[in-house]
Structure 1
Amino acid sequence: MVRALEPVPRGRFVCEYAGEVLGFAEAHRRIQAQTAQDPNYIIAVREHLHDERVMETFVDPTHIGNVGRFLNHSCEPNLFMVPVRVDSMVPRLALFAAADISAGEELSYDYSGRFHNLPGTSREHKPLEEENRLRKPCYCGSRTCASFLPWDSSLFSTPASSP
């Protein structure tokens, strides 16, 4: 759990979610090698381009990272993530304050990225029952809690069915 040491005004940069940038195959391999008890820090960022292409970036801070890996998920977070490019096509994952944050308040973001990026919706699709057994429970305690952490099924699929 990470808490703000001082008040953070809405819109202020808080930190980067830093780590190893992986290709899909390596991200898939690492996810498949994990047990249900292992923490999963790999984040999948998908950017939808104007020509209908999707640009994927996978970041794993398990071995090389920063404080961003210790930020918890919340279904009602106070941070949001923005892919930012600085002299590279590989984005850096910047976390900004979504609201004014008080000193001592826990810092959190929606691991799915949906909370502040899709108007009128903060919840993800309802997964199939067989997907639920692979998912980790959400303990954020928000009034709109989805009960499970966000899920990227493409990283858990078999190689024949993956993109």
Structure 2
Amino acid sequence: MAQDLKDCRVSCKLSWEDLQALCRRERLVCKQLSVTKNNFNDYEVEYLCNYKKHKGREFFLVKWKGYTESENTWEPFKNLKCPILLHQFRQDMKTALLQANKPLDSESLSTPIVSFLLQRAKQRLKLQKWEDLMNQTCKQKGRIFVCNEVDLDGPPKNFIYINENKLGKGVNVNPVIVGCECDDCFSQPVDGCCPGLLKHRRAYNDNRQPMAEVGECGRCRGFTKTASLWSILESCVLHQIITTEEAERRGVVYDKQGVTYLFDLDYVDDVYTIDAAHYGNISHFVNHSCDPNLQVYNVFIDNLDERLPRIAFFAKRGIRAGEELTFDYKMTVDPIDAESSKMDSEFSRAGIEGSPIKQIHMECKCGVKTCRKYLF
């Protein structure tokens, strides 16, 4: 039995840094973790809790990684080698003092301000752990960054990042295994070939911009933006796909909560529904704007079932580096853009992150000049 388990391994629940802190706390030497007697006293600042100034010197209350809050210590500025944490703390302290109408050069902080700083520090830790988890899970290139400078909310509860659509009970996908055998798909009228089935209409124009009335077939592709090229996002919207019967059952629950995360995939038949409540990829967090830079379209990849289109975001215009990606939850479109209009009608009903089931006036906070003031 022992021989069978010789190569059996499980992941440690503690991070490398946590294990190092634990060894130092217990005064244990560990070569694998680079913990020696010479660096037992190398302590890591987990976050800063409080601030005071005495005789012109700044002191910070430090929460040490691997130690309890009861073991926090006041340290002078010169002892701290954590510039990022110090910068974040000073920014948060400035915000709190301004909101409380207190002078920015205060020598001590009131209890409400200290409470705010502590909550902000703990929030950042939670968001950082969640950011690391998503980046470990995400299979796409690039890194996901998470921040919240608006309120004290942490990561969403009961949300799981996925790399492929999660299929509910009763949902079956027939994948596309092979391509066509055409020498020239656009000139040969071969039945069964994608261009042939679409009467040789192209999915993209000469500038590689999507033709709204034609769906995309094949793998989702990513275009790099140039001066004359609009980009198509490399990933489609991923969520859980369920039957309409299951959607009706879940809708009763969401109705009691006053929100919905459901919208129908009724491109040809009202058979399947997307539930965005608990599963999704980075597109789950794309927000609304009355002047968006993205447009939503049906696309067909990996399967030819018209009842199961994927939802993809296409850039409506050039997007600057660092600019927030948005789409209109109640999008108005060109009348000839029938394909997009059909999809937008569903998004306006539900949206990526969910919206009220009842048609109530929900305030819009997108901040653009053309803001309609209300989402619905």
Residues 30 and 144 from structure 1, CA distance in 2 versus in 1: closer, same or farther, beyond 3 angstroms? farther
Residues 77 and 55 from structure 1, CA distance in 2 versus in 1: closer, same or farther, beyond 3 angstroms? farther
1:93 counterpart SS class: strand
Query: Max radius of gyration: which structure?
Result: 2
Cα RMSD (Å): 3.3
1:74 and 2:289 correspond:
yes
Identity of aligned residues (%): 30
1:24 and 2:241 correspond:
no
Residue 332 of structure 2 aligns with which residue? 115
Q: How does 1:7-156 map to 2 (within 5 A)?
A: 9=225, 11-14=230-233, 15-34=235-254, 35-36=257-258, 40-47=260-267, 55-56=269-270, 58-86=273-301, 87-89=303-305, 90-112=308-330, 114-118=331-335, 131-133=358-360, 136-150=362-376
| In structure 2, C-alpha distance between the alignment counterparts of 1:69 and 1:58, rounded to whole Å | 16
| In structure 1, C-alpha distance between the alignment counterparts of 2:368 and 2:296, rounded to whole Å | 19
User: Any idea what the Cα deviations from partners look like across 1:41-81, whole Å, max 9, x if unmatched?
Assistant: 4334544xxxxxx5445322322210011000112110111
User: Any idea what the Cα deviations from partners look like across 1:105-125, whole Å, max 9, x if unmatched?
Assistant: 11011123x334546xx9x8x
Q: What code does the residue aligned with 1:75 have?
A: C
| TM-score, normalised with respect to structure 1 | 0.61
Residues 16 and 145 from structure 1, CA distance in 2 versus in 1: closer, same or farther, beyond 3 angstroms? same
1:145 counterpart SS class: coil
| In structure 1, C-alpha distance between the alignment counterparts of 2:335 and 2:264, rounded to whole Å | 17
Residues 30 and 75 from structure 1, CA distance in 2 versus in 1: closer, same or farther, beyond 3 angstroms? farther
Residues 107 and 145 from structure 1, CA distance in 2 versus in 1: closer, same or farther, beyond 3 angstroms? same
Shifted more, 67-76 versus 10-19: the winner is: 10-19
More strand per residue: 1
Q: Which runs of 5+ in 1 are unaligned?
A: 48-53, 125-130, 151-163
Aligned residues: 128
2:279 counterpart SS class: coil
Whether the aligned pair in 2 keeps the contact of 1:77 and 1:115 (CA below 8 Å) is no
Q: Which runs of 5+ in 2 are unaligned?
A: 1-143, 146-223, 337-343, 349-357
| In structure 2, C-alpha distance between the alignment counterparts of 1:117 and 1:76, rounded to whole Å | 15
User: Any idea what the Cα deviations from partners look like across 1:16-60, whole Å, max 9, x if unmatched?
Assistant: 111112333333333332213x5x44334544xxxxxx5445322
Residues 118 and 26 from structure 1, CA distance in 2 versus in 1: closer, same or farther, beyond 3 angstroms? farther
Residues 91 and 143 from structure 1, CA distance in 2 versus in 1: closer, same or farther, beyond 3 angstroms? same
Q: What code does the residue aligned with 1:88 have?
A: L
Residues 45 and 80 from structure 1, CA distance in 2 versus in 1: closer, same or farther, beyond 3 angstroms? farther
| TM-score, normalised with respect to structure 2 | 0.29
